[in-house]
Structure 1
Amino acid sequence: MERMQQPYDTIIEAFATHKVPYDIAACYVWLAGAILSIYLPVVNETFLRVVFGVPVILFIPGYALIAALFPAAKDLGGIERIALSFGLSIAVVPLIGLALNYTPWGIRLDPIVISLAIFTIGMCLAAQYRRACVPAAERFTVPFSALRQAVIREFFPKETGRLDRILSIVLIIAIVAAVATTVYVIVVPKEGEKFTEFFILGTNQKAADYPSEIMTGTNSSMYIGIGNHEYKNITYTVETYLESMTFDEKTNTSALKAMDRIDRFKVPVPDNQTLVIPYSFTAKKTTYNRIEFLLFNETVPGDRVQGMDRINQSYRDLHLWITVRSP
């Protein structure tokens, strides 16, 4: 009489090293490659980060979930598994991000990587166990060897001559080159317009509540924002000035009467990042009626350049009209 398989026998069978299904092993290897491409120095600056990372977001979590839910070959066909893998990945990954949003860790790189890795590995382990519970003849397997033999028969049939074999090799090289070119175009996009964002925010980091009524000798606070979209790291220079401006209604022109520097400081901003920094200033004269913010990228004119010439030579400039009163 055949002995019934015990749960621990199934566990041993499921997690024996030499019995890990090839598709589940491929998920483990690809996930490990993605993690290395994110955190390994030098490698994380290459296109490999995108090549390994995109499938971990769009395909592998859903495939692992499908493998855990449908361990038998008769449950789903190959095309259905692939289609559902994409669909479930697109559904699961945002849900993981939504859950992280309500945790102390938030939606950042490290929590996302750890959460996706735990989910994918957990589903892969569940898939291994569930397949071990199914008779070997009924388990779902990816026929890698059969696919390889089919490709060989398609491109290199035994009855073909030497010329046909050469043409088949050229065709394979052309297909590989086309796929590689497509991947390169996707992961290394053409540089778009280069520009820098320069903005100021009020006390609540919103485009409102700017200081307008200012008392001499008291601090007024706001925020300065710089967004670097120049496709390289840049150390910007910010200068702030208090100014006295007059307006001639007859000629409809403004004249700069006084321009006193408050601050000059450098702000290093990495490529494709935006920094918002707090800033405060103090006005000592009631004659001021405007505060000027000048942004310089890598070229700062000498101190001899003053007034409107300095404003015109800045990379970006902003200003606020203010009223300065005595306490």
Structure 2
Amino acid sequence: MIEIPSKRILTWDVVAVLSYAAAVVPLQWIELLSPIRIALLAPVLLFLPGFTLSTVLFPGRPVGERSTATNGISRLGTVERAALAVGLSVGLLPLFAFVFDLVLGQVVGPIIVATAVFSAGMALLGGYRRSRVPEPDRFEIPIERWFEESITSVRENSTGAAVVNVALAGSIVLAVGAVGIAFAVPQEGATFTDFAVGTQQGGEFVTDGYPEDLAVGEAAETAVLIENSEDKLTEYHVVARFERVEDGTVTAIQSAGGFTVTVDPGETVIRSHSAVRSITGDDVRLRFFLYRDEPPTDPGPETAYRAVHVWVDVE
């Protein structure tokens, strides 16, 4: 007798993956305490992408778990599936980084969003693949059976064996969590902002081409680049000024304006800036200071987050 498989795609585990993926996407931009962030994000980075992909590749129940003959169905044991899920997940992260580099022009990207969307898509595709398999042969997560077996094991085995089992499970969780810290938690010193001054030529930012000889009253046309790798939305304040330098000492300062810009995490902004100045001399530089907070009334290199400059001779 041929068994007609159920067409239900949204099984409980598929719904759980979709719900979890939707819940963690906002965490790409929300800061949380490190332990909470690890607990919430480690699964979506180190397990779900590989697990959901495994349901697409291997939709069948392992042989021996109430399954019938192979019938050409791709099968994978529970332990092998778990190991494959972690291995595939870790292997997919560099692939996402490569895609970011091709599409966004940078390796850093919305990794949480990418893994969550990928996991959700693979979960749906895996649900469809499993819906085409007869129910006795269909892969499912046997949580009820695991719970019953764990209770039986504790009752029938010695206390020492139970402790060993708990310790083994705990060590696996700790190992996965340790690997996840590098991805789930922004490490101290890992955040930064790139700040550069140059010009735009043919729509591209270059760190040369700015005016080196500037007549009094002539505008210096420059381009300022800000790349936000702070892992959060940041409001930047840029202050510019002309400085006359004699024997390594600044002897004259005049303001050259500035601007404020808000940059999304992982984004790069290039802003044109025009500065007209009347300071004369051979050793004059146009200096830019970057602040992540409101700049002080007397900005300078001592208080700035970043500082860059170009030399201009003002005749």
> Fold-level match, TM-score > 0.5?
yes
TM-score under structure 2 length normalisation: 0.65
Q: 1:121 to 1:88 in 2, by over 3 A?
A: same
The code of the aligned residue for 2:225 comes to I
- Corresponding residue number in structure 2 for 1:250: none
| 8 Å CA contact 2:21, 2:44 repeated in 1 | yes
TM-score under structure 1 length normalisation: 0.63
Provide the aligned length of Structure 1 versus Structure 2. Answer: 286
> 1:149 aligns to what?
148
**Distance change in 2, residues 1:267/1:208 (3 Å):** same
Q: Could you tell me whether the CA contact under 8 Å between 2:13 and 2:141 is conserved in 1? A: no
Q: What's 2:66 paired with? A: none
Q: Deviations over 1:123-156 (max 9, x none)?
A: 3212221x12x7x3x5445544443333223222
AA partner of residue 253 (structure 2): M
* d(CA) in 2 for partners of 1:77, 1:54: 22
Equivalent residue, structure 2, for 1:263? 257
Superposition pairs for residues 234-249 of structure 1, below 5 Å? 235-246=235-246
CA distance in 2, matches of 1:211, 1:240: 16
Checking the alignment, whether the CA contact within 8 Å between 1:34 and 1:56 is kept in structure 2 is no
> Partner amino acid for 1:225?
I
Instruction: Output aligned runs, 1:1-327, within 5 Å.
Output: 10=5, 13-15=6-8, 20=11, 25-39=12-26, 45=32, 47=37, 49-55=40-46, 58-68=49-59, 70=60, 73=63, 74=70, 75-78=74-77, 79-86=79-86, 94=95, 98=99, 113-114=116-117, 116-129=119-132, 131-132=133-134, 136=136, 138-157=137-156, 164=159, 172=166, 179=173, 183=177, 186=181, 187-188=184-185, 191-192=188-189, 197-203=194-200, 204-214=204-214, 216-218=217-219, 220-225=221-226, 227=228, 229=230, 235-246=235-246, 253-268=247-262, 275-285=268-278, 287=280, 289-298=284-293, 300-303=295-298, 310-324=300-314
C-alpha root-mean-square deviation of aligned residues, in Å? Answer: 4.7
Larger radius of gyration: 1
User: Structure 1: where are the runs of 5+ without partners?
Assistant: 247-252
- Verify the 8 A CA contact 1:200 1:225 in the aligned structure 2: no
Q: Taking CA–CA contacts closer than 8 Å with sequence separation of 6 or more, which of the two structures ends up with the larger relative contact order? A: 2
- 1:228-255 per-residue CA deviation (whole Å, 9 max, x = no partner) reads 64x8876544221122333xxxxxx334
**Cα shift at 1:217:** 3.2
CA distance in 1: counterparts of 2:249 and 2:99, whole angstroms: 54
Report sequence identity in percent.
17
C-alpha separation between the residues in 2 aligned to 1:299 and 1:182? 41
Structure having the larger proportion of residues in helix: 1
The separation in 1 between residues aligned to 2:138 and 2:52, in whole angstroms, is 20
- State the shift of 1:121 in Å: 0.5
In structure 1, C-alpha distance between the alignment counterparts of 2:114 and 2:19, rounded to whole Å:
16
Residues 46 and 90, structure 2, Cα contact 8 Å, conserved in 1: no
